[in-house]
Amino acid sequence: MVLLSFKVKTVPSCSIFTIKSNIYMNIASPITSQEIEFAPETIFIEESVSDHPLTLDTIRRFPNTPIQRNITYSDAVQMIQKNSSDVFGMGKRKLFLTRFKGSFLKKCPGISPGMVCCNYYVVNLLKNCTYDCSYCFLQDFLHNNPLLVAYVNIEDLISELDQVFRTYPERTFRVGTGELTDSLALDTVIPYSQQLIPFFNKQKNAVLELKTKSNRVENLLRQDSANNVIVSWSLNPQIVISREEKGTPSLKQRLEAAHLCANKGYKIGIHLDPIIIFQDWEKHYYELINSIFKVLSPAQIEWVSLGSFRYRNSLKKIIKERHKNNQLFTGEHVVSKDGKHRYLRPLRNQAYEKIRNFLKKISTDLNVYICMETKEVWEGVTGKMPRSDKKLDKFFDL
Ligand code: SF4
């Protein structure tokens, strides 16, 4: 597979900027303190965005939060390094507002040697996450860049996407915002969705995926249209959520949010990822699947993706330091071709097969795919490669 990079000039458009300013005026006012769960301990503002409407909108929401203006990223990181032994944990609570320079749109970097990837495009408006899952790869990936970063120049993103979608009308773009963050955890703090959704509603060849563990769907429910937008939930049995997904809404809260979005007309995706194998895992995943279909019908679900727990060696050390009570390393793991450790292949195959069978018993029409796995596992579990399945082909379309 070939990594595709778009060299698109990101010229801020005056007209987009003017319209956007009005949108900000609308969205700043109705948020109540109850709706905002996350409040940053400090807001750092880089000089180039000090007057940006989204910066002004964000600081207006937090009148009591200390603000450090005209500060560089490295100076902000140095400040928190002096004051904490858990710099990554503290970085999640400090919001750094800045401008993204360069092209936002890139091919999902999940493509790695020997792996079949749920191939799509990503854009990063946020870096890091307010939640603190024990298995989160960001702990390793952002080890030296721990701040919660928000790129406020969303007008540049929309201008870039518009140009790319027009340049390649024959392609279908599936674009996700949840590669380096949770797509919705901060949506009542920095409501990117209010600009992304109306833009994607109008596209003929593009779909937006908002991937989340949150229940912050207020802004989604206020939209006029759900066209071309998939909201996908990462789910695990409640026992795993309680133990390994700190700060995240419960399974019940996530499913309620999914139910509301489905009724609003959004397409729903389900990620059972990472699947964690522990004592009685089958029973817990069986119950999880039953809970999903108590609130959603198979027809409302666009796909279910499965992925097993995986990690690099460098992440294991961090997990053990930061999450003393985790139960991720109880079984045996082996290194795969991409350098990541996974459960032994027969164990992974068994977990995928069981869960896939639970799902297919609910409805044979469900699209179930396996993310970030070897060809051998794909073929072992499904009997075929994704390109030979017409239903799945659209997800793997290059
Ligand atoms: S929700 Fe996702 S991005 Fe956030 S901490 Fe958990 S795994 Fe990481």
User: Which H or E run contains 68?
Assistant: strand 67-69
- Residue 264: count of CB within 10 angstroms of its CB: 16
Contact 285, 358 (CB under 8 A): yes
Q: Would you say the CB of residue 138 lies under 6 angstroms from ligand 1?
A: yes
Could you tell me the two tokens for 322? 């930061």
The three-point CA angle 26-269-299 to 5° equals 105
Helices 251-264 and 281-295, axial angle in degrees (round to 10): 30
Residue bearing tokens 């790319």:
164
Q: How far apart are CA 126 and CA 38, in angstroms?
A: 15
Residue 382: the pLDDT is 63
Contacts of 50 (CB under 8 A, 6+ apart): 69, 70
Q: How far apart are CA 150 and CA 100, in angstroms?
A: 9
pLDDT tens, position by position, 310-367: 999 999 999 999 999 999 998 889 998 889 999 999 999 999 999 999 999 999 999 9
Nearest CA to ligand 1 atom 7: 136
Q: How far apart are CA 183 and CA 124, in angstroms?
A: 9
Write down the pTM of the prediction.
0.85
Q: How far apart are CA 67 and CA 140, in angstroms?
A: 28
Q: Would you say the CB of residue 131 lies under 6 angstroms from ligand 1?
A: yes
DSSP string, 94-107: EEEEE---S---EE
Nearest CA to ligand 1 atom 8: 136
Could you tell me the two tokens for 34? 């109850």
Residue bearing tokens 């990117």:
192
Could you tell me the domains of the chain?
99-396 (3.80.30.30)
Could you tell me the two tokens for 167? 């340049």
Amino acid in the structure at residue 196: L
From 37, 132, 138, 251, the mutation candidate for ligand 1 (largest count of ligand atoms within 8 A of CB) is: 138
Contacts of 279 (CB under 8 A, 6+ apart): none
Percent helix, strand, coil in the chain, to 5, is: 40, 20, 40
Per-residue confidence in pLDDT tens, the chain, 398 aa: 323 332 222 222 222 222 223 333 333 333 333 344 799 999 999 999 999 999 999 999 999 999 999 999 999 999 999 878 899 999 999 999 999 999 999 987 654 555 555 558 999 999 999 999 999 999 999 999 999 999 999 999 999 999 999 999 999 999 999 999 999 999 999 999 999 999 999 999 999 999 999 999 999 999 999 999 999 999 999 999 999 999 999 999 999 999 999 999 999 999 999 999 999 999 999 999 999 999 999 999 999 999 999 999 999 999 999 999 999 998 889 998 889 999 999 999 999 999 999 999 999 999 999 876 666 665 666 665 554 444 444 444 32
Q: Locate the ligand 1 atom nearest the alpha carbon of residue 130 and give its number.
A: 4
Cis, peptide link before residue 40, omega less than 30° from 0:
no
Q: How far apart are CA 373 and CA 113, in angstroms?
A: 10
Q: How far apart are CA 6 and CA 161, in angstroms?
A: 10
Contact 190, 183 (CB under 8 A): no
From 126, 142, 213, the mutation candidate for ligand 1 (largest count of ligand atoms within 8 A of CB) is: 213
